[in-house]
Amino acid sequence: MFTQVLTPIFNLFRKSRNRPLIDRLHGEIMAGARQPVFFVEYGVADTLEGRFEILCLVSTIALRRMSALPEPGPGIAQEVTDSLFAHFDVALREIGIGDVTVPKRMKKMASGYMGRSSAYLAGFSDHEAGKAEALPLAIARNVFGDEAQAPAAHTQRLVRYALAYAEALDDLSVDNLLIGPLPVLDAQSVS
Domain contains 11: no
Sign of CA pseudo-dihedral 177, 111, 153, 163: positive
What domain count does the chain have? 1
CA dihedral angle for residue 26, residue 8, residue 107, residue 27, rounded to 10 degrees: 0
Domain contains 3: no
Domain contains 44: yes
pTM for the complete prediction? 0.88
Domain contains 189: no
List the one residue out of 155, 165, 156 whose CA is nearest residue 185. Answer: 165
Residue 6: the pLDDT is: 40
Domain contains 146: yes
Q: How far apart are CA 41 and CA 18, in angstroms?
A: 36
For residue 4, pLDDT over 50 is answered with no
| Segment 46-96, tens digit of pLDDT | 998 999 999 999 999 999 999 999 999 999 999 999 999 998 888 888 878
